[in-house]
Amino acid sequence: SGTPTTGNPYTGHEIYLSPYYAAEVDTAAAAISDSSLKAKALKVKEIPTFIWFDIVAKTPDLGTYLKDASEKGKRENKKYIVQIVVYDLPDRDCAAKASNGEFAIANDGENKYKDYIAKLVTEIKKYPDVRVIAVIEPDSLANMITNMNVAKCSGAAEVYKRATIYALKELNKVGVYMYLDAGHAGWLGWQANLAPAAQLYAQIYKDAGSPQFVRGLATNVANYNALRASSPDPVTQGNANYDEIHYIEALAPLLSSQGFPAKFLVDQGRSGVQNIRNEWGDWCNVRNAGFGARPTTNTGSSHIDSIVWIKPGGECDGTSDSSAPRYDSMCGKESAHKPAPEAGQWFQAYFENLVKFANPAL
């Protein structure tokens, strides 16, 4: 902890491979009979993804991973990064149903969230030699921009903001490099949403005391947009910000002019194939997606610290069973791959397509 590195927190570090995801991929590959597809699938084990802490029960696992990364670093004389997603706000995923979480505001959720953050901090404190990079709360602040007409979102607004600021402050104390989730080009990149988005993110940053370890924003988490599209996907309907680089280049100056010199991470984990959606708002298990550009700090933009894989491809976005709890009709749409299990569960057929359609090829 102490003071942050001035530049890109990824520089000079190795990224720790998630044992959780590696185990999922091992099991998936074992179920593939075609030898060439199996071989490609096994390559995915070597690609770093973010580790999602979507329930408080997983917080002790962070200590396990940090210990492993610390020991590897000492053995190999390298410095490791562990990439995590903080994802347990009360009334989570307020505009959808598929990823509703374990905590409810009505059931002391704000205090339970503080305890969840405290448990993460406890693990992180044990291993100061391992760098932690965290994406903070996918979808939540983006929903504050476009879904205040949804009762569950407007009802959650004050707690979302307070709890997010709490998380930023607490994680800053233990030197976690943080990127707030900022939706994607097809969400906040519309002209109508851009300025309000910049205003909210800058406000949260300042209300948290401009924490020195808050590095910026993460975009396209669990979405399918290209960083640089060769041509606008028809679903972008003339939006000038038709891919993530346009969105980021439009947003960055609005943030810095309000005192938030944000840098970016861009999820490309499921962005290998373009023009696969009927509407830009399609987000659930979009059929025919492929693994995308591999994680790299060679991003071609001074705004972007790294291309990353945040949503682990193969973990489901939401169930397609209309009688199941957390069923969201977006997962029943024509563009959604069916049948699909509950959010976070392994979706074998979807994973096999991600491997098949990977671009660049595996």
Ligand X SMILES: O=[N+]([O-])c1ccc(O[C@@H]2O[C@H](CO)[C@@H](O[C@@H]3O[C@H](CO)[C@@H](O[C@@H]4O[C@H](CO)[C@@H](O)[C@H](O)[C@H]4O)[C@H](O)[C@H]3O)[C@H](O)[C@H]2O)cc1
Which of ligand X, Mg ion, none sits in contact with 147, Cβ below 5 to 8 A by type?
ligand X
- Write the CA distances from 159 to 97, 174, 198, integer angstroms: 19, 23, 20
* CA 73 – CA 68 distance, rounded (Å): 8
Residue closer to ligand X by CB (options 57, 192) is: 192
Residue closer to ligand X by CB (options 59, 146) is: 146
Residue 87 Cβ vs ligand X, minimum distance, rounded to whole Å = 10
* CA 286 – CA 28 distance, rounded (Å): 19
193-252 residues near ligand X, rule: CB under 6 A: 193, 222-223, 237
CA geometry: angle 141, 14, 293, nearest 5 deg? 60
Note whether 147 binds ligand X by CB under 6 A. Answer: yes
Residue 311 Cβ vs ligand X, minimum distance, rounded to whole Å = 8
* CA 188 – CA 6 distance, rounded (Å): 28
Residue 267 Cβ vs Mg ion, minimum distance, rounded to whole Å = 12
Question: Exactly one of 139, 181, 233, 305 is catalytic; which is it?
Answer: 139
* CA 347 – CA 1 distance, rounded (Å): 38
Residue 275 Cβ vs Mg ion, minimum distance, rounded to whole Å = 22
How many other CB atoms are found less than 10 A from the CB of residue 8?
17
Q: Is 88 a catalytic residue?
A: no
Residue 193 Cβ vs ligand X, minimum distance, rounded to whole Å = 6
Long-range pairs for 353-356: beta carbons < 8 A, 24 or more residues apart: 353/287, 353/288, 353/289, 353/290, 354/270, 354/272, 354/289, 354/290, 354/291, 354/313, 354/314, 355/37, 355/40, 355/41, 355/44, 355/291, 356/37, 356/40, 356/290
CA geometry: angle 183, 61, 66, nearest 5 deg? 90
Which of ligand X, Mg ion, none sits in contact with 95, Cβ below 5 to 8 A by type?
ligand X
Residue closer to ligand X by CB (options 1, 237) is: 237
Q: Is 139 a catalytic residue?
A: yes
156-195 residues near ligand X, rule: CB under 6 A: 184, 186-187, 190, 192-193
Residue closer to ligand X by CB (options 52, 280) is: 280
278-297 residues near ligand X, rule: CB under 6 A: 280-281, 283
Q: By the criterion CB under 6 A, which residues form the site for ligand X?
A: 93, 95-96, 98-99, 138-139, 146-147, 184, 186-187, 190, 192-193, 222-223, 237, 280-281, 283
Active-site amino acid positions: 139, 317
